[in-house]
Amino acid sequence: MIIAIDGPAGSGKSTIARMLAKHLGFNYLDTGAMYRALTWKAMQKGVALENENALCQLMDQTTLELRCKDASLNVFIDGINVTKEIRLPSITNNVHYISNTHGIRQRMVKLQQRFAVEGNVVAEGRDMGTVVFPQAEKKFFLDAEIEERAQRRYADFKPSTSEISFDAVIKDIEIRDRRDTTRNNSPLVKSSDAIYINTTKLTIEQVFNKILKEIESSVKK
């Protein structure tokens, strides 16, 4: 079974996807981590992020592994665990170059689809229900007002750094939203058969229970 969860930054899809995977005993697929991992390697190797041919060549020479255990995902590039490194701000600020590269997305989609062959999976990203897993048994699109999404991100950043401001977080999300929804390759868009959930006024537990109820009702049928 494949459960696809899409949505913009800060909508809660990553947290929900991990919770569902753990509860159901499914594998967890964080597709964004894959793009971040290749971004990390490209920056380490000094590859020009705007050079599609160089990036595609780099990926063809790269072994990218996702190792999932108890809904915890570790990301490996050529045998190196880069799970923590790919969350650095420098990666976040540059991953859009990789995710908007047509040749890279084609290669990533194949890897993501291959991952799902290994067993039941909860996959989260921005094109899960539209491009990667259009055949997914259940599709969800999570969303929230931008102020709420920014508040969530700000709360995540606050313990680790006091330098970032709330206004800066909002601006960053606005930029990411614009990039995600207007890019030429697999833009962020709700699949016609996805269940839309606005999480603005919902707790994580409420969203989780709502989605779990939908999944269980589908299985019973």
- The model's confidence at residue 162, banded by pLDDT at 50, 70 and 90, is low
Residues with Cβ within 8 Å of 61's Cβ and at least 6 positions away in sequence, in order, are none
How is the chain split into domains, by residue range? 2-209
Instruction: Name residue 84's beta-bridge partners.
Output: none
**63 three-class SS:** coil
Q: What is the pLDDT of residues 4-43, one digit of tens each?
A: 999 999 999 999 999 999 999 999 999 999 999 999 999 9
Q: What is the pLDDT of residues 43-56, one digit of tens each?
A: 999 999 999 999 99
Whole-number average pLDDT of the chain: 92
Encoded amino acid at 54, one letter: A
Q: What is the pLDDT of residues 76-102, one digit of tens each?
A: 999 999 999 999 989 999 999 999 999
pLDDT at 62: 97
Q: Whose CA is closest to 53, among 6, 16, 101?
A: 101
- CA–CA separation, 58 and 179 (whole Å): 23
Per CATH, is 2-209 categorized as 3.40.50.300?
Answer: yes
Asked whether the beta carbons of 27 and 121 are under 8 A apart, the reply is: yes
